[in-house]
Amino acid sequence: RNPASIAASQDFFKSLCKNLEIPENISWHVEIAIEESLTHLFEYEMDKDSPDLLHMVFDFAEDEIKIVFDAPGRPFDFDRISTFDRDQLSSYSNVEGLGLFLLKHIMDIVQWKYLEKKGQQLVIIKKLPSSVGKEIKKANYVLSIRKTADSDQYFSDQIEYRLVRDYDDAFALTSCAYDLYHYEYKDVIYYPNELLSRNQNGLMRSWVAVAKNGTVYGHYALIKNHLSDTFAETGAAFVRPELRKAGVFKELAVRLHDDAVGLGLRGLFSLSVTNHIATQKISENYGRYTVGIRVASSPAVFVEGAKPGDRTTTTLNYHQIVERPVRDLFLPPCYREIITSTYNRLKIDINEKKDGRVRSKGDSSGRSFFDTYKDMAWHRALISARGDELICQKLQAFTDVLLETGIVCITLSIDLEDPSACALAETARKIGYFYSGIFPESFPGGHDALQMQLLNNVKVDPGTILIYQDSGKEIYQFIQNEAKQIFSPSAEANGAMS
């Protein structure tokens, strides 16, 4: 990011051209192109204060000189750079976009490409006259440049709130997520084509706060795992720091929830990190009550000042949009009181069944179910289970495998509408799982689920867990009593403060 770095790379290229006997006029043109390329990459792509290197590859072939720039950093759509107006050149009233104009006219080929979760790649090519190229042997040189800090620039503008509608919106959303979390957020956010595809096929409905210049300042989405799901997550919520006190998230929330009403969903849920009281309050304001606490379930990428490897706790908040008939549930005796209390807060009526038998190994009802999902990026896994003794044995075996592969957090989802729920929960407790909460209508087939967790050598600092809703405080206290081993020694003192 230092002018000396640009000059050094130009001199490096100039020396190569001299050794290869490239005509000076061609060398001079490419030197200008190098300056403009680096200037744009430093300004728009690379992060301030980052230790990452920008890599340049100089490739000399018989018919062309190709330079490839790989700049790790934020996604940026270079088509958004202002266009130079040559008609006003004589008045010197508009020279914005001149550098990109020169680059495109000096070089024969200019290609910008966003490499998902890596950064920007720029390729510039200068064709060589045949009289020059035939004398050149193929050569390849690499140069790495470290950038220096630059001042931040910020502008405020009128904000428009709308759904993501095209690739430009999706790409700008990717850039916003990168600016906030680099490449540590949910993967789909960093793949504009995939993000747009999900919005077009109904798996996502992304609401964005967009400035006139196309910059995304905030995002909030309805998310489904499967098109057939009758409930959706309100998630992937983030706002740039400079507008967090300007009511942007509140405006996004109003539009998202108004949108959800007309989609025919049975329920909505959200996950709120426990150091963000505001998002827990918003959930309660929209009728979503905390039904579970997911302890250390995610990397602490949302927490300012967090160290690499730190994990954060989230609350699971649920709202039943459509009234439903009373369901028969099989409640494990050790969790009966806390589960019943949570259903009462949701104003969902249930009928507790006392039959908690375990079906024999020869059971042919076909109701046994076992499914696993691994998220290696966030080192967590989900197991969904229903069934007899064989399923209990399978749970033990798969848990062992997941722990051996480095999974940090396992969430177990048990079908509460199945008679074997009590025995399966008891098996899970013996393995080391503890209570996490309930999740209505989330089990395959739309059944209600009991959720339990197991942590792999994780100690939780209760001082970092702030619970806003009364239902959440009740569940958190229950977890502290049941799973004392996961909390640091100061759990009792700090727990009261939470």
- Which tens digits make up the pLDDT trace of 113-151? 888 888 889 999 998 886 555 555 556 666 666 555 443
Predicted TM-score (pTM) above 0.85:
no
Q: What pLDDT is recorded for position 146?
A: 55
Q: What pLDDT is recorded for position 394?
A: 96
Lowest-confidence segment of 114-123, 208-217, 484-493 by average pLDDT: 484-493
Q: Is 357 a residue whose pLDDT tops 80?
A: no
What DSSP state is assigned to residue 128?
-
Q: What pLDDT is recorded for position 21?
A: 87
Return the amino acid letter for 40: H
Average pLDDT over residues 1-30: 88
Q: Is 497 a residue whose pLDDT tops 50?
A: no
Q: What pLDDT is recorded for position 340?
A: 97
Q: Is 287 exposed, middle or buried (0-12, 13-18, 19+ CB in 10 A)?
A: middle
Q: What pLDDT is recorded for position 152?
A: 32
Partner residues linked to 437 by β-bridges: 292, 451
| Chain Cα centroid distance, residue 241 | 17
Q: What pLDDT is recorded for position 139?
A: 65
Q: What pLDDT is recorded for position 73?
A: 84
Cα–Cα distance between 183 and 356 in angstroms, integer?
A: 46
33-35-36 Cα angle (round to 5): 65
